[in-house]
Amino acid sequence: MKITAPAYYKSFKCIAGKCKHSCCIDWEIDIDEGTIEKYKKVKGTMGERLRNSICCQDGTYSFILSDNERCPFLNSDNLCDIYIELGEENLCQICTDHPRFRNYFSDRTEVGIGLCCEAAGKIILSDTTGFYEIILSDDGKKEALSEDEKYIIDLRNNLILIIQNNRNNIEHGINLILDYADIIYRDKTISEWADILKGFEILDSNWKKYLEQIKELENKNTQLPEIGFNREFANLISYFLYRHLPDSRDYSDLMARICFAVLGYKIIKSLCISNILKKGKCEFEDLVEFSRMYSSEIEYSQENTNSIINIYQNEIFSSF
Ligand code: SF4
> Which atom in ligand 1 lies closest to the alpha carbon of residue 78?
5
Check pLDDT > 80 for residue 220: no
Check pLDDT > 60 for residue 320: no
Ligand 1 midpoint to CA 19 (Å):
6
> Which atom in ligand 1 lies closest to the alpha carbon of residue 15?
3
% of the chain exceeding 90 in pLDDT: 90
pTM of the predicted model as reported, rounded to 2 decimal places: 0.93
Name the closest-CA residue to atom 8, ligand 1.
14
pLDDT in tens, 238-292: 999 999 999 999 999 999 999 999 999 999 999 999 999 999 999 999 999 999 9
pLDDT in tens, 144-177: 999 999 999 999 999 999 999 999 999 999 999 9
Distance CA 112, CA 124 (A): 10
pLDDT for the residue 93: 95
pLDDT for the residue 221: 65
pLDDT for the residue 319: 56
Of the candidates 50, 65, 112, 98, the one whose C-alpha atom is nearest the C-alpha of residue 245 is 112
Ligand 1 midpoint to CA 99 (Å):
7
The preferred substitution site among 11, 12, 18, 19 for testing ligand 1, maximizing ligand atoms within 8 Å of CB, is 19
Ligand 1 midpoint to CA 14 (Å):
5
pLDDT in tens, 35-84: 999 999 999 999 999 999 999 999 999 999 998 899 999 999 999 999 99
The preferred substitution site among 14, 26, 95 for testing ligand 1, maximizing ligand atoms within 8 Å of CB, is 14
Chain centroid to Cα 29, Å, comes to 17
pLDDT in tens, 108-137: 999 999 999 999 999 999 999 999 999 999
Name the closest-CA residue to atom 6, ligand 1.
23
pLDDT for the residue 198: 96
Distance CA 210, CA 286 (A): 12
pLDDT band at 218 (very low <50, low <70, confident <90, very high): confident
pLDDT in tens, 201-210: 998 999 999 9
Please tell me which residue, 316 or 276, carries the higher pLDDT value: 276
DSSP designation for 70: B
Long-range contacts of 37-41 (CB under 8 A, 24+ apart): 38/90, 39/90
Backbone angles phi, psi at 12, to 5 degrees: -70, 135
Residue ranges around ligand 1 (CB below 6 Å):
14-16, 19, 22-23, 98-99, 117, 119
